[in-house]
Amino acid sequence: MTELKQSLIRRIEATGPITLAEFMAECLMHPQHGYYQKERVFGKDGDFITAPEVSQMFGEIIGLYMADRWYKMGKPQSFHLIEFGPGRGTLMADILRATAPVEGFVDAAEVHFIETSLQLRELQKKKVPHGNWHDTLNTVPEGPSLIIGNEFFDALPIHQYERQNGEWLERRVHAEDGVFQLVVTKPTAHVALIPEHMKDGPDGSIAEICPSALSIMGDIALRLNTHGGSALFLDYGYRISSFGDTFQALKNHEYVDPFAEPGAADLTAHVAFDQLHRAATEAHSKAYGSTPQGMFLMALGIGSRAQALASGTDAAKQEKILSELKRLTAPDEMGTLFKVLAVQNHELPPPPGF
Ligand code: SAH
């Protein structure tokens, strides 16, 4: 039994069943045994692969998107380039490389990473030594900002509610004889966040709510509204929230039981883009999307970028670039399930790709 499992069981024995959000937060973020303290998380030899690890083209296209937004902001001589949940730091390194030829951009950018895992901070430092690290957005100094996050929101803890006899009940994690099981109990106050179109779901429905995602989005929107700038988030999930249990665990590129080995597998849930859109709008910023990742990247010219990279290379290399392009954009790969949401200050012209 893992140490984290023992400590979770002791906690449940002492306090009673814990919410799924508490369980997820412990499994991912526990300072010693949490999943994100592991070194080999992403990439081909990790548990799952993310878009920046699939191909450099992803970060390059996002870099050009950021440069465009910087121009539209009037090329501020100093701004904060902020990334949420940077993983191995690959995306930021690619953004900085792709924007190096854009006169003034890299010099004006002060890089900030929002990252809770100390282990991952070390990896990020290797790729972007001049970054500044924060636990939350609150400690990033005020000022105009360009913000990016890839697969950040899907790692935030969710609450699950189950409809029984016309009422929403909270799904909690209980432990019996060393085995975790789900039980339903009185709901926490976050139940009020279930969107209007889902409130009257039929018995047996499951609704998921991610309060920390909504509050982080509120903070981002407030910052952009006050100090100017633009944010872009890519993740997998719903364009419009709907019922269902999307809590899942990945280990060695395979789906596993999320309750089997706490801390050993990555835990995620679908991101509800309509709820993030609403949170941004309520905090007085303007939101665009979500739009499918494939359409977004194609509209921004990832096809031509792939051609440029492939030209003059051998057949094997060309095939590799083509398959990476397909992985990022094809509807049956990451093109449709993954979506993009932009949030920005009202005064900025609309972003490209939406
Ligand atoms: N963006 C990267 C990694 C995605 S995994 C990529 O695309 O490859 C999720 C990342 O978010 C990890 O770096 C994890 O440590 C970080 N993370 C998760 N929850 C966080 C939180 N509450 N605050 C800050 N970072 C968090």
Question: Is position 21 within any domain?
Answer: yes
Give, as one character, the DSSP assignment of residue 55.
Answer: -
> Are residue 82 and residue 225 in the same domain, yes or no?
yes
The whole domain housing 183 covers 3-29+160-208
CATH for 298: 3.40.50.12710
Terminal C-alpha separation, the chain: 48
State the distance from the centre of ligand 1 to the C-alpha of 84, rounded, in angstroms.
7
> Are residue 81 and residue 195 in the same domain, yes or no?
no
Question: Is position 197 within any domain?
Answer: yes
The domain tally of the chain equals 2
Question: Is position 349 within any domain?
Answer: no
Ligand 1 contacts CB of residue 116 (under 6 A): yes
Ligand 1 contacts CB of residue 154 (under 6 A): no
With a cut of 90, say whether residue 2 has pLDDT above it: no
Banded model confidence at residue 10, pLDDT cuts 50, 70, 90: very high
- pLDDT tens sequence across 109-125: 999 999 999 989 999 99
Closest CA to 84 of 11, 29, 137, 138: 137
> Are residue 304 and residue 220 in the same domain, yes or no?
yes
Which residue among 118, 134, 152 is best mutated to probe the pocket of ligand 1, counting the most ligand atoms within 8 A of its Cβ? 152
Find residue 170's DSSP bridge partners: 161, 185
Question: Is position 249 within any domain?
Answer: yes
> Are the C-beta atoms of residues 47 and 252 closer than 8 Å to each other?
yes
> Are residue 119 and residue 41 in the same domain, yes or no?
yes
Atom of ligand 1 nearest to the CA of 36: 15
For atom 10 of ligand 1, which residue has the closest CA?
A: 85
- pLDDT tens sequence across 169-219: 999 999 999 899 999 999 999 999 999 999 999 999 999 999 999 999 999
Q: What average pLDDT does this structure show over 5-24? A: 95
Question: Is position 104 within any domain?
Answer: yes
Cα 204 to Cα 243: distance, rounded to the nearest angstrom: 10
Find residue 20's DSSP bridge partners: none
Overall pTM surpassing 0.85 (yes/no): yes
pLDDT value at position 39? 67
Ligand 1 contacts CB of residue 152 (under 6 A): yes
State the distance from the centre of ligand 1 to the C-alpha of 117, rounded, in angstroms.
8
pLDDT value at position 312? 93
> Are residue 55 and residue 178 in the same domain, yes or no?
no
